[in-house]
Amino acid sequence: MRIVVTGAAGFLGSHVCERLLARGHEVVGIDAFTRFYARDRKERNLAGLRRARGFTLYEVNLLHEGLEPAFAAAQAVCHLAGRPGVRGGSSAVFEAGNVGTTEAVLEAAARARVARVVLASSSSVYGPAAAPVREDVPPRPLSVYGHSKRLAELVAARLAGRDGLDLVILRYFTVYGPRQRPDMAFARFVQAAHGGDRMPLLGDGRQMRDFTYVEDAAEATAIALERGRHGATYNVSGGRPVALGDALAMLARFLGREPELVPAPRDAREPYVTAADLTRAREELGWAPRVGLEDGLRWQVEDAVAAVA
C-alpha cells in the first residue's frame, strides 16, 4: 500500500515508517517540525528514512492547506501527529493539536478517497482503573490532554461514518525505547544522569505504568493498518505493568549512574495505575508485545549513549 504517516519525524512516527517500509509498503511522511522538540532530534529520527527507498517526506502543517499532494493515490493514513504530554500546554493547544489535526486529516482522506485511517489515541482517555482495562469501558479522562484525545476519537468516528472511511483507533500505553521524546520520563532521566542534573520524581515512585516498547507499538500499528477491523479500537501495551521507581532503578543500572531525584507532588491529572487488557488485539490482530522492559530499557540506553558519543 501507499501509506501516509503524519508525525513521521517523531518518536513513534519514525519507527512506524521504518516498520511499514520493512513490510513492503510505500510511505509518505508528513511532519510540521514544530518547536515541541528540537529539529536536530527529528532529523536524527529521519536519518535512516531519508536514505530508504519508497519514503517521501512533506514538511506541512496539518492545520494549514496543502495536504493534497501528500494524500494523492494513498490507500491508507496513519495519523500519529498531535500534541502529546499531560503537562504539554493549554486546552486550546491540545484541542488544535489533537482535535483540529484529526479533523483536517479525516477531511483530506475523504477528499483523496483513502480507504483506511488509523488514529493514534492514548491510554489517558481511560482515567482511573483498578484492573486491566478493556476498550469498551466508559472513558473517564483526568487531564485536558486525555479529554482532547477522546474528543479526537469521537470526531474521527463521526467523519469516518459520514464519508465512508474505514477507521481503526489505537490506544497506546506509555511508549518508550530508542529515540524517545525528550519530555518523557526515561529520556529525562538519562539526560539528567549524563548531565549531572537533578530530576523531579512526581509522587512516591510506586505508581504503575504499562510500558510499551516502541518497536512493539510500531508492529501493532502496521498490523492494524493492514487488517484491523473497521470501527474497532485496540489497546497497545507491554502487558506487564511495572512501578515507575523500579523502572528508573533499572535505567540507573544500565547507565551506571543516576541523577539526584527531587521529590515532588504527584500530578492528579495522571492515573496512579495504567494497565491494558490485550485480549482484543491478540484475538483480532494476532498481535502481542514481545519485548520486556529490561531489554527495552537497555536498548534505549545504548541508543542514547551512541547519540552523544
Identify whether the C-beta of residue 182 lies closer than 8 Å to the C-beta of residue 37.
Answer: yes
Q: Are strands 208-209 and 242-243 parallel, antiparallel or unpaired?
A: antiparallel
Q: What is the DSSP letter of 302?
A: H
For residue 198, being part of any structural domain is answered with no
For residue 226, is it within any domain?
Answer: yes
pLDDT at 268: 81
Residue 35 pLDDT exceeds 80: no
Reported in sequence order, the residue ranges of 177-302 that DSSP labels E, i.e. its strands, are 198-202, 208-209, 212-213, 233-236, 242-243, 260-264
Percent of residues, the chain, with pLDDT higher than 90: 82
Q: Tell me the C-alpha distance between 129 and 309, whole Å.
A: 41
pLDDT-derived band at 265, boundaries 50, 70, 90: confident
* Cα separation, 38 vs 32, whole angstroms: 12
Report the alpha-carbon distance of residue 156 to residue 168 in Å, rounded.
Answer: 10
Mean pLDDT taken over the chain: 94
Lowest mean pLDDT among 82-86, 124-128, 155-159, 240-244: 82-86
Inform me whether the pLDDT recorded for 36 exceeds 80.
no
For residues 41-59, average pLDDT: 93
- CA distances to 66, 74, 161 from 174, in Å: 32, 29, 29
23-52 average pLDDT score: 91
| pLDDT of 88 above 80 | no
pLDDT at site 278: 98
Mean pLDDT computed over 26-49: 90
Question: What integer is the mean pLDDT of 89-105?
Answer: 93
pLDDT given at position 309: 64
Among residues 145, 172, 213, 234, the one annotated as catalytic is 145
pLDDT above 90 for 1: yes
The average pLDDT across 16-23 equals 98
Q: Is residue 38 part of a domain?
A: yes
Domain count for the chain: 1
Task: Give the pLDDT confidence score for residue 297 in this predicted structure.
Answer: 97
Closest CA to 187 of 259, 235, 83: 259
Give the Cα separation of 210 and 74 in Å (integer).
33
| C-alpha distances in Å from residue 120, one per residue of 45, 170, 192 | 19, 5, 29
Q: Model confidence over 151-167: pLDDT tens digits?
A: 999 999 999 999 999 99
40 contacts: CB under 8 Å, gap ≥ 6? none
C-alpha cell at 308: 552523544
Would you call 172 a catalytic residue per the annotation? Answer: no
Residue 217: inside a domain, yes or no?
yes
137: in domain? yes
pLDDT per residue over 185-196, tens digit each? 999 999 999 888
The CATH number that applies at residue 19 is 3.40.50.720
- Least Cα distance to 206 among 243, 247, 250 occurs for 243
pLDDT at 238 over 90: yes
Residue 60 in domain:
yes
**267 band by pLDDT with thresholds 50, 70 and 90:** confident
**Range with lowest mean pLDDT among 19-23, 151-155, 190-194, 268-272:** 268-272
**Residue 163 domain boundaries:** 2-173+213-236+276-290
pLDDT at 293: 97
- The secondary structure of residue 170, as a DSSP letter, is E
CA terminus-to-terminus distance, the chain: 38
Give Cα separations from 185 to 24, 44, 165 (angstroms): 34, 20, 36
pLDDT of residue 202: 84
